[in-house]
Amino acid sequence: MKRILSVMILVLISACSSEPVWKAEPQVWDEFTIHFETRPEIVRMGMNEFLVIVDREGRLHIPDLLVHIRTNDSKWKQAIPDGALGVYRRALPVNDVQADQLHIRLRYHGKHGELTYALAPQTTAAQ
């Protein structure tokens, strides 16, 4: 019994010590603050789900907002609203985690905007 308990504790500890999750800083467009999350939490090569979270002065429901997203090597795709939560979802391919970017195009009441986010922390090469 002690052996099983010890194994379970080790499994729990290892599960809690996963890679740190990096998040891009939110950006502001018009009256909206926009940031994104991914599933899986750490972006990997292949298909990743992108959750674009849009907030307007603490209010999450924004009717009439259209959100399109793409990565460097994909075409623009409309992100699907997740209810009235201010969350827009879409799966897109990622070919190079360090070089690819997430591009977000917004359209709201005749206004258009575009934001670009890195998918991983930017590193500078040593000279």
Tens of pLDDT along 46-57? 999 999 999 988
pLDDT at 21: 81
Query: Is this model's pTM higher than 0.85 or not?
Result: no
Nearest to 48 by CA among 11, 28, 74, 83: 74
| Structure tokens that stand for 85 in this block | 């939560």
User: What is the topology classification, in CATH, of domain 19-118?
Assistant: Immunoglobulin-like (2.60.40)
Spatial separation of the C-alpha atoms in residues 57 and 20, rounded to whole Å: 29
Give pLDDT tens digits for 77-101.
999 998 878 899 999 999 999 999 9
For 56, other C-beta atoms within 10 Å of its C-beta total: 15
- Within the chain, which residues score under 50 in pLDDT? 17, 124-127
- Please say whether the beta carbons of 66 and 59 come within 8 A: no
Dihedral angle over CA of 93, 38, 104, 115, nearest 10: -120
